[in-house]
Amino acid sequence: MNGSGKVALNAGIEKAWEVLLNPQALKNCIMGCTKLETVGENKYEAVLSIGIAAVKGKYESTIEIADIQKPNHYKLIVKGEGGPGSVEATGVVDLISIDENTTELQYTYDAEVGGKVAMVGQRMLNGVAKLIIQDFFKKFNKELAKSEQSV
Amino acid sequence: MSKVIGKSVTRVEDKRLLTGQGKYIDDLGTPPNTAHVAILRSPYPHAKIVSIDYSEALKIPGVKGVVTGKEVQPLVNPFSVGVSAPVQYYPIAMDKVRYVGEPVAVVVAKNRYIAEDALEKIKVKYETLEPVVDIERALEEGAPVLHENVGSNIANHRTFHYGDVDKAFQQADRIIKHRFHFPKYSATPVETYGVIAQYEESTDSYTVHANFHGPFVLHSIMASALKVPSNRLRIIIPKDIGGSYGIKAGIFPYIVLCSVVSRLAGCPVKWIEDRQEHLAASSSCTDRVTYIEAAVKNDGKVLGLKMKMIDNVGAYIRAPEPACLYRNHANTTGAYDIPNLMIDAYAVMTNKVPTGLIRGYGGQETYFPLERIMHMIADELEMDPADVIRRNLIKKEQFPYKTASGGVYDSGDYEKAFDLLLKIGKYEEFRKKQAEARKKGKLLGVGLAVIVEPSGSNMGYITIALTPEERKAGLPKSGCTEAATISIDPMGNVNVRISTTPTGQGHETVASQIVSEILGIPHDKINVVAELDTATSAWSIASGSYSSRFASLGSSAVYYAAQKVKRKIIKIAAHFLQIDEDDLTMKNGQIISKTDPSKSISIKRVAGSAHWNPLSLPKGMEPGIYETAYYTAQAEPPDDNDLINSSITYGFVADLVTVEIDPETGEIHILDYYTVHDAGKLLNPLIANGQILGGLVHGLGGAMYEELVYDDKGQFLTGSFMDYLCPTATEIPRVTIQHIETPSPITPLGAKGLGEGNSMSAPVVIANAVNDALKPYGVTIDSLPVTPNKIWNLIHRSIKQEELA
């Protein structure tokens, strides 16, 4: 499964970058993320509870950020395993400054799922991926607003 | 008693099944202290197991233990396999997983809920490996190898030359060839696998209840795997099995797994498979690529065939595979008189669920290319397919007909059945209708298929996987033995015990009909017991429910056991009445003199004497009435030239299907399905038609809906009935069944097996009809299922090409 898209963020590029790489902000934005801990440089461990079709369950995942070119580009490598099966995904994020308060984020992703979630959920996967991504950016813009206020 | 055999007697099984009194595996009680198991399965198609940590699972209250390959290994041997490739197949993954769904760990708990929850607490570290799922990719240099010690993915390869194939191809006016791909699908019985296993330490023995239906040759394989003498593995089959269609033969690794788990856990264990497990990890047919070449004369006569068949047996070749490849070996040339045949047969292993028995077993894979190429020959020669078929059909006077590969077709009148088909299917009329419809842009099509339906397998056929030299190293294997026991109790009532482990086919009914007719007792007074118990039943390696063997073999064992009982009763009656045995007949519960009907004695009196007053019996006769008959037909092992008569009886099926296709959506509408059968003498036409319809719907699934789909990374994508489509009542077209009867000279009742024929013929006859409908687009159907998506794409690709041209 793969996909791509772009979204406008209501912040300047530096600010957007900062929040994007803030573990607490990410935890708030990722649907079903109940835990996100830093375990090393650019490495996190997360617990995600997601239901896809009839397959609900917890995934214990590692998230690695690589290929960092601050503040324009990075790559996200996610490996998750749990009762419902396994997920391996990579995402590439590019930030383009539009103006002082607007940044365009472009993303592409490539994901492979395995086990039960592939067996009974694959019809739904593209839809679920879109839902999770849309939800992420909706919440992310809120996080940006929150961080603006806190400044 | 008047004729009962051959009558449409209603099924004695139905009352209990329809009123909820069937006894299926999950209806059996469990011994006290029985634990329930849940199985952790691999999410990866190909990976090394680095570590398994189940310490957290053990902490859950109610969990009694966790078992992995490490604990199982010392207690088992790998299953023996029927090929020379040293494949190590265990009931649970040892150091590697090779398909999605392979068992990795087993949780034993107080109940299934706790066991399922505990699965999530087990941490398995995998190191993933590149998978291979495509049949021909698996054969390529540099493809990932599943079994390192085998060295390649080829589990079996044999080449056969029968007749003079080179000469046939030299004499041909043209050679017509094509590549076909038959999909992997299942049979989805309503009841899934179930096992209750108990290890008893004091005797070092295992007792297992399971809905396993044979072949009981697998009993030896299971006992060897469990490292116990075979009389220390007692398997008991419940009275009722909720369908199988071959798939439940694949339960045997789980019988061994649950047995070992019971031993390790120190308590009886019960496992009922769920639907997702069943679709992902039970069993299926092989998917097969066939390259077929036909040497053809311009009048449509086929002189010879070359077939390269590559069967995908999944991650492990397991017994009785590569049987799918050879099940139809004797009837590879189908209903045609084709004396020259070359077969290049491969069984390859890929990262998919292992395969096994399934309704039709290899027939659908064999007849798909054969019956498609006959239609392609007609197209190329601009002949009517009916004429090409007729030109090649075996003639009535050729029976018993010896096939190129060693089959002996016992009886038949193929032309008569085929002519009847064309008549009831109004073939000529439909052709005219089709021509009219085409003018209006409507897509009508008609397909034909004629197939030989083998029944009652010769146990020797599987050894054709070995070379004649390899076979010589072992004992010869042959035969098709089945047994039945009939007893009469002191009150004169009859019990019949059969070892054909019915899975819904009505064996109890037909057995009661046979005994009724021979002993002159109403069939509904006869009690038939279908539970098989390897410790107390009369059974043999071939026993069980598969290869449509009841009508040819099971019924014959019942027949001969009844004849034994009859002989004894007549002997006693003759002694009591002081009448010659030849003068006596059995009727309405009496033994009566034919010449003086006033002289008679009741069965109750005769049987009663055998129990109550044995000294009154003829001198030297054993007391009691309890007779077992073992029956086998003439079934030789393969000879040095690899000739093998792989079945006992050979029926015939001719199908005609008409379809209309919507070019806008690619949807196929089956207008009519006509099928003419010759299964020798019918034992019960009502049951026969029910079985035929069931087999036909299974074939319809393979043709149009069902496929176990894996993506190119080896992930399994059809793990529920939302994704794996089975035909339901609304998809079943109008079906017209007709019979002709040419009795088998081999079986005592003249009967042949049936019920699998349309599983073999439906996929190809529907493909032929669809191809015919799409003739204006010049497309070739060479893979299945023919989904609307596939048809739409074929139509539109063809339209695009035309526009470009």
ipTM (interface pTM): 0.87
Report pLDDT digits (tens) over B748-766: 999 999 999 999 999 999 9
**Nearest C-alpha in A relative to B101:** A115
Report how far residue B93's alpha carbon sits from residue B100's, in angstroms, rounded to the nearest whole number.
11
What pLDDT score does B634 carry? Answer: 87
Q: B215 near B249, Cβ under 8 Å?
A: yes
CATH number belonging to the domain at A2-150, selected among 1.10.10.10, 3.10.20.30, 1.20.1060.10, 3.30.530.20 = 3.30.530.20
What pLDDT score does A151 carry? Answer: 52
* Phi and psi at residue B598, to the nearest 5°: -75, -20
- Token code pair at residue B673: 């399905």
Residues 6+ positions from B475 with CB-CB distance below 8 Å: none
Mean pLDDT of the residues in chain A? 89
* Phi and psi at residue A20, to the nearest 5°: -60, -30
What pLDDT score does B2 carry? Answer: 64
Q: B87 near B155, Cβ under 8 Å?
A: yes
What does each C-alpha distance from B507 to B527, B678, B688 come to in angstroms?
Answer: 12, 20, 11
**Nearest C-alpha in B relative to A122:** B717
Q: B362 near B756, Cβ under 8 Å?
A: no
In the predicted model, is pLDDT for residue B446 greater than 60? yes
Identify the band that residue B73 occupies on the pLDDT scale cut at 50, 70 and 90.
very high
B33 Cα to chain A: minimum distance (Å)? 28
Report how far residue B585's alpha carbon sits from residue B565's, in angstroms, rounded to the nearest whole number.
13
Nearest-CB residue to A114 (from B100, B120, B723): B100
Report pLDDT digits (tens) over A39-68: 999 999 999 888 776 778 888 899 999 999
Q: B479 near B542, Cβ under 8 Å?
A: yes
Nearest-CB residue to B43 (from A54, A85, A120): A85
Report how far residue B604's alpha carbon sits from residue B606's, in angstroms, rounded to the nearest whole number.
6
Q: In chain B, which residues have their Cβ closer than 8 Å to the Cβ of A86?
A: 43-44
Angle at B288 between CA B286 and CA B293, to 5 degrees: 150
Report pLDDT digits (tens) over B108-167: 999 999 999 999 999 999 999 999 999 999 999 999 999 999 999 999 999 999 999 999
Q: In chain A, which residues have their Cβ closer than 8 Å to the Cβ of B723?
A: 119-120, 122-123
Q: What percent of chain B has pLDDT over 90?
A: 97
Listed in order, strand segments (DSSP E) in B709-778 are 735-739
Interface of B with A in 10-69 (CB under 8 A): 41-45
Tell me whether residues A122 and B720 touch, CB distance under 8 A: no
Our CA dihedral for B88, B92, B96, B102, rounded to 10 degrees, sits at 110
What pLDDT score does A55 carry? Answer: 75
B119 Cα to chain A: minimum distance (Å)? 7
Identify the band that residue B416 occupies on the pLDDT scale cut at 50, 70 and 90.
very high
Q: What percent of chain B has pLDDT over 70?
A: 100
Nearest-CB residue to B276 (from A81, A83, A120): A120
Domain boundaries, chain A: 2-150
Tell me whether residues B719 and A81 touch, CB distance under 8 A: no
* Phi and psi at residue B327, to the nearest 5°: -55, -35
Our CA dihedral for B137, B142, B144, B149, rounded to 10 degrees, sits at 120
Q: How many residue contacts between A and B have a Cβ separation below 8 Å? A: 54
What does each C-alpha distance from B14 to B17, B504, B689, B799 come to in angstroms?
Answer: 5, 10, 16, 53
Nearest-CB residue to B715 (from A54, A57, A114): A114
In the predicted model, is pLDDT for residue B76 greater than 90? yes
Q: In chain B, which residues have their Cβ closer than 8 Å to the Cβ of A114?
A: 43-45, 100, 715
Sheet of B103-109: strand order equals B63-68, B103-109, B35-41, B269-272, B194-200, B205-210, B233-237, B532-533
Report pLDDT digits (tens) over B501-549: 999 999 999 999 999 999 999 999 999 999 999 999 999 999 999 999 9
Mean pLDDT of the residues in chain B? 97
What does each C-alpha distance from B420 to B642, B673, B686, B740, B772 come to in angstroms?
Answer: 36, 14, 21, 9, 21
Nearest-CB residue to A115 (from B43, B718, B723): B43
**Nearest C-alpha in B relative to A58:** B120
Strand B35-41 versus strand B269-272 pairing type: parallel
Is the CA virtual torsion B170, B175, B179, B185 positive or negative? negative
CB count within 10 Å of CB B114 equals 20
Report how far residue A71's alpha carbon sits from residue A104's, in angstroms, rounded to the nearest whole number.
12
Report how far residue A94's alpha carbon sits from residue A85's, in angstroms, rounded to the nearest whole number.
30
Report how far residue B782's alpha carbon sits from residue B796's, in angstroms, rounded to the nearest whole number.
17
Residue B677 DSSP symbol: E
All structural domains of chain B: 31-129+190-243+247-281 (3.90.1170.50), 287-460+637-804 (3.30.365.10), 481-631 (3.30.365.10)
Residue B681 DSSP symbol: S
Report pLDDT digits (tens) over A107-147: 999 988 888 888 887 778 888 888 888 899 899 889 888 87
What pLDDT score does B449 carry? Answer: 98
Interface of B with A in 689-748 (CB under 8 A): 711, 713, 715-720, 722-723
**Nearest C-alpha in B relative to A116:** B43
Taken as a whole, chain B contains a residue count of 805
pTM: 0.96
Report pLDDT digits (tens) over B594-650: 999 999 999 999 999 999 999 999 999 999 999 999 999 988 999 999 999 999 999
Identify the band that residue B301 occupies on the pLDDT scale cut at 50, 70 and 90.
very high
Q: B363 near B328, Cβ under 8 Å?
A: yes
Cis peptide leading into residue B103 (ω within 30°)? no
What pLDDT score does A150 carry? Answer: 63
Q: B264 near B349, Cβ under 8 Å?
A: no
Q: Which H/E stretch holds residue B424?
A: helix B414-424
* Mutation site for A-interface testing, chosen from B713, B720, B721, B724 by largest number of A Cβ within 10 Å: B720
Helix axes B555-577, B507-519, angle to 10 degrees: 30
Tell me whether residues B276 and A119 touch, CB distance under 8 A: yes
Nearest-CB residue to A120 (from B43, B44, B723): B723
**Nearest C-alpha in A relative to B278:** A119
Report how far residue A122's alpha carbon sits from residue A52's, in angstroms, rounded to the nearest whole number.
9
- Mean pLDDT value of segment A70-75: 94
Report pLDDT digits (tens) over B3-60: 999 999 999 999 999 999 999 999 999 999 999 999 999 999 999 999 999 999 999 9
Nearest to B731 by CA among B638, B651, B655, B668: B668
Residues of A at the B interface, defined by Cβ within 8 angstroms: 54, 57-58, 81-83, 85-86, 112-116, 118-120, 122-123
What pLDDT score does B1 carry? Answer: 47
CB count within 10 Å of CB A134 equals 13
Report pLDDT digits (tens) over B132-147: 999 999 999 999 999 9
- Mean pLDDT value of segment B293-301: 98
In the predicted model, is pLDDT for residue A17 greater than 60? yes
Tell me whether residues A82 and B717 touch, CB distance under 8 A: no
Residue type, B131: P
- Mean pLDDT value of segment B448-474: 95
Q: In chain A, which residues have their Cβ closer than 8 Å to the Cβ of B718?
A: 119
